[in-house]
């Protein structure tokens, strides 16, 4: 009898956790999400970055580079592949420059809004990536939705606008940089 009660209690607790407790989010968990993202970036680990993205992910990105603009939507798989390609590209660029490409990455969270049901957070802010000193700089303005899935904070939506500056955005063409 006690064994049956223990099983029922365990099932109820697991159900509660998956439906309520494991899905609620707070500001500390959001801050931790961005800390993990920074650590994964500095470790140059695209797989760790992918683990922070929900399978439900949908992103919209606008990029302005060398006077040209483009807009695209992306899924989790596409974003993860983009991370892998970017880190591979960073490694190749570093090799062409005679070593490891130096990178500075920073995030600034402007606002965190926890939804009334505490199951998601909308985060706005900026990210900056400087590569090779002043050779290339990415200035990213973002709005991202973070939710908890099975106890871990994951990004489910992203809307970004990125401005890419290369060597002061005047002296060097993109094709010159990637020779």
Mean pLDDT, the chain, rounded, equals: 85
Higher pLDDT, 9 or 167: 167
pLDDT at 172: 45
- Distance (Å, whole) CA 47 – CA 87: 11
pLDDT at 73: 97
- Distance (Å, whole) CA 66 – CA 172: 9
- Distance (Å, whole) CA 102 – CA 39: 15
Alpha helices by DSSP H, the chain: 2-16, 27-42, 46-50, 76-96, 167-170, 174-177
Contact 107, 120 (CB under 8 A): no
Average of per-residue pLDDT across 92-103: 77
Residue 157 scores a pLDDT above 80: yes
pLDDT at 98: 72
Confidence of residue 135 (pLDDT cuts 50, 70, 90): confident
Bridge partner list, 64 = 69, 163
* Tokens of residue 16, six digits: 């509660």
Biggest CA-to-CA distance, the chain: 79
Residue 97 scores a pLDDT above 90: no
Higher pLDDT, 117 or 93: 117
* Domains of the chain by start residue, with CATH: 2-177 (3.10.450.50)
For the stretch 7-42, pLDDT in tens is 765 555 555 555 555 579 999 999 999 999 999 999
pLDDT at 27: 96
For the stretch 43-90, pLDDT in tens is 999 999 999 999 999 999 999 988 899 999 999 999 999 999 998 988
Location of structure tokens 């302005």: 64
């Amino acid at each position: 009898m006690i064994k049956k009660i223990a099983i029922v209690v365990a099932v109820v607790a697991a159900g509660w956790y998956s439906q309520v407790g494991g899905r609620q989010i707070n500001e500390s968990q959001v801050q931790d999400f961005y800390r993990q993202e920074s650590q994964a970036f500095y470790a140059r680990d695209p797989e760790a970055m992918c683990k922070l993205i929900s399978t439900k992910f949908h992103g919209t990105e606008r990029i302005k580079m060398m006077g040209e603009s483009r807009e695209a939507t992306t899924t989790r798989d596409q974003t993860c592949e983009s991370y892998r390609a970017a880190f591979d590209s960073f490694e190749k660029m570093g090799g062409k420059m005679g070593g490891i490409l130096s990178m500075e990455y920073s995030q600034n969270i402007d606002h965190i809004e926890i939804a009334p049901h505490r199951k998601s957070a909308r985060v706005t802010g900026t990210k900056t990536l400087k590569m090779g000193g002043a050779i290339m700089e990415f200035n990213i303005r973002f709005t991202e939705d973070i939710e908890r899935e099975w106890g871990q904070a994951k990004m489910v939506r992203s809307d970004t606008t990125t401005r890419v500056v290369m060597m002061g955005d005047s002296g060097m063409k993109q094709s010159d940089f990637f020779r």
